[in-house]
Amino acid sequence: MPKTITLVLDDELAARLARFAEETGFDAAGAVDHAVRSFLDGEDRARLTTEALVAAAREGHAGTIPGHALGEDEMRLWLLSWGAETERKRPRSC
């Protein structure tokens, strides 16, 4: 069921909303609905991405074999050398 809310906007944001609504054919309520949905969808994607990265990092960390993990500094130096005349060879653990 739809829920009505009161929203107080400063002059600049109200003008931006009016321009957006005019350019897209939304009325003010439709423009706010679109903006809130877009924002929340982006937040959901960011949260899911973060959760997936944390899970992958935990899985990767738990699965490392002693002596086969690559340190951050060594990885950074290898990546920064890509395309250079002095490009480093791929580290053994990669």
> Residues 16-65: pLDDT tens digits?
999 999 999 999 999 999 999 999 999 999 999 999 888 887 776 666 66
What are 9's two structure tokens?
A: 């906007």
Q: What is the DSSP letter of 88?
A: P
Residue 68: Cβ within 10 Å count: 10
Model pTM?
0.58
Judge whether 18 and 35 are in contact, CB under 8 Å. no
How far is the C-alpha of 36 from the C-alpha of 90, rounded, in Å?
46
What is the model's pLDDT at position 89? 87
How far is the C-alpha of 46 from the C-alpha of 3, rounded, in Å?
26
Judge whether 14 and 7 are in contact, CB under 8 Å. no
**Which phi and psi (to 5°) does residue 43 adopt?**
-65, -40
Q: What is the CA radius of gyration of the chain?
A: 24
